[in-house]
């Protein structure tokens, strides 16, 4: 064992791939954000009046994941802070990621914390928390930006009450001013919003389009210079990462992840260059991680549905009809003492699994019997197994 470890240490430590791999992590914000000049300018134009004492409009930012929304927002606010300091205008900024803090209480507690308002651990109602935030904020003549990133998570989980209160807060403030920046990856998010919240949150709207492959190449090239040893990454490797990520809705995060994981695979092999094969394998690894994570966090009935399909295929039934699938699913649900969902609901779940790339569903013609939908699993059973290993109720099916 120690010999093989010696070998591994030697191999990994002698490989000269990265100068600084932290520059490839998703939370690192580079000094320049190529191909976002327009969004940076628009956001800065909207927010800069704060330095002249007026309240900037609220801004609603939307676009797919990995299109630079978080990076651009943090970048502009940072620059604004620096400018404010020069002019002796302190800005209060609360950055809240609502995917992590997805309850009204958490968000309000974060806001209080951002301005050092005292909050006991428990025992306050959200309206009391809001009152304290308001009171402490209004003690002085100051400006505050509230960034609610991935705000759809908050609204889906806890409703739009806090959002409603926040978009109206300026009516109750006498000295202080608040501007809200709401960010979402969910393009249909506004469907969830009360129209009044929608219109006050969206005083200004900013859309982040997906990056093209060529734009992603520029982003990767810029990052490569500082993160990788010179000569380790070839133009072909950058092109490949960019092309793969462009297919994935122009996602810069995916492009950077590919480059990082490919670098790690090369390092592990003791290679002194990142090759296209490392990128291909990185793609497989990331895809597997994505699928496993999606399944792991699914509701129980969706898992049962996947298990049903797995069992059917294990018995050699590749490409079963939705009717056959429903039958097995119902049996399994009942064996757990659960009422099966309706066929209609299951049909929706099947479409969802199809969209997520876990199953493939297609309509086929059955001659004079009309048309029917046929489904296949497209995830290897080893991935299913990994995704469900924490769920002992369903995991037992893999042991049979
Ligand atoms: N124009 C850009 N230039 C350089 N890096 C970028 C650019 N856009 C996004 N990134 C990087 O891609 C990753 C994802 O961006 P992020 O802002 O988190 O996307 P979003 O918030 O839209 O999901 C981050 O690591 C970010 O630094
Ligand atoms: Mg983001």
Domain 37-208 top-level CATH class? alpha beta
Domain 211-294 top-level CATH class? mainly alpha
- 373 CB less than 6 Å from ligand 1? no
Q: With contact defined as beta carbons under 8 Å apart, do 83 and 51 qualify?
A: yes
To which residue do tokens 């006991």 refer?
120
Look at residue 15 in the predicted model and tell me its pLDDT: 67
- 68 CB less than 6 Å from ligand 1? yes
Nearest to 221 by CA among 209, 234, 211: 234
d(CA 175, CA 172): 10
User: Mutate which of 36, 71, 214 to test ligand 1's pocket (most atoms within 8 Å of Cβ)?
Assistant: 71
Q: Atom of ligand 1 at shortest distance to CA of 27?
A: 25
Say what the pTM is.
Answer: 0.85
Residue 232 Cα, ligand 1 centroid: separation in angstroms? 23
Residue 247 Cα, ligand 1 centroid: separation in angstroms? 16
- 216 CB less than 6 Å from ligand 1? no
Full pLDDT tens readout for the chain, 400 residues: 568 888 888 777 776 899 999 999 888 999 999 999 999 999 999 999 999 989 999 999 999 999 999 999 999 999 999 999 999 988 999 999 999 999 999 999 999 999 998 887 777 889 999 999 999 999 999 899 999 999 999 998 899 999 999 999 999 999 999 999 999 998 888 887 888 999 999 899 999 999 999 999 999 999 999 999 999 999 999 999 999 999 988 999 999 999 999 999 999 988 999 999 999 999 999 999 999 999 999 999 999 999 999 999 999 888 899 999 999 999 999 998 999 999 999 999 999 999 888 999 998 887 777 788 899 999 988 899 999 988 888 888 877 5
Choices 3.90.420.10, 1.10.10.10, 1.10.3720.10, 1.10.1510.10: CATH for 299-399:
1.10.10.10
d(CA 61, CA 70): 10
What residues does each domain of the chain span? 37-208, 211-294, 299-399
């Amino acid at each position: 064992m120690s010999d093989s470890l010696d070998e591994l240490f030697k191999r990994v430590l002698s490989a000269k791939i990265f100068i600084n791999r932290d520059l490839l992590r998703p939370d690192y914000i580079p000094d320049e954000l190529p191909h976002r000049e327009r969004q940076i300018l628009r956001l800065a134009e909207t927010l800069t009046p704060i330095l002249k004492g007026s309240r900037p409009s609220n801004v609603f930012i939307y676009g797919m994941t990995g299109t630079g929304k978080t990076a651009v927002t943090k970048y502009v606010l940072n620059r604004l802070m620096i400018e404010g300091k020069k002019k002796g205008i302190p800005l209060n900024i609360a950055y809240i990621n609502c995917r992590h803090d997805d309850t009204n209480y958490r968000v309000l507690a974060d806001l209080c914390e951002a301005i050092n308002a005292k909050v006991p651990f428990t025992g306050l109602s959200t309206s009391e928390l809001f009152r304290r935030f308001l009171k402490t904020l209004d003690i002085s003549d100051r400006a505050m930006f509230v960034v609610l990133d991935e705000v759809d998570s908050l609204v889906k989980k806890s409703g739009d009450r806090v959002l409603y209160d926040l978009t109206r807060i300026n009516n109750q403030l006498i000295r202080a001013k608040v501007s809200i920046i709401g960010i979402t990856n969910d393009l249909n998010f506004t469907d969830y919003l009360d129209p009044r919240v929608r219109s006050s949150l969206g005083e200004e709207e900013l859309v982040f389009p997906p990056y093209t492959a060529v734009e992603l190449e520029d982003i990767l090239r810029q990052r490569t210079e500082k993160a990788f040893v010179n000569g380790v990454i070839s133009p072909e490797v950058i092109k490949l990462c960019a092309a793969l990520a462009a297919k994935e809705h122009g996602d810069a995060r995916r492009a950077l992840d590919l480059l990082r994981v490919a670098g790690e695979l090369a390092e592990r092999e003791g290679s002194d260059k990142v090759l296209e094969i490392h990128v291909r394998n990185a793609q497989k690894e990331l895809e597997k991680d994505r699928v496993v994570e999606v399944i792991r966090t699914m509701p129980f009935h969706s898992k049962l549905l996947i298990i049903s399909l797995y069992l059917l295929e294990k018995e050699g039934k590749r490409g079963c009809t939705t009717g056959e699938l429903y039958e097995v699913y119902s049996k399994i649900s009942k064996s757990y003492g659960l009422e099966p969902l309706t066929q209609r609901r299951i049909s929706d779940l099947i479409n969802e699994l199809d969209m997520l790339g876990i199953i493939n569903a297609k309509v086929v013609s059955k001659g004079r019997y009309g048309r029917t939908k046929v489904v296949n699993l497209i995830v290897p059973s080893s991935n299913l197994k990994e995704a469900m290993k924490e769920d002992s109720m369903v995991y037992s099916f893999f042991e049979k």
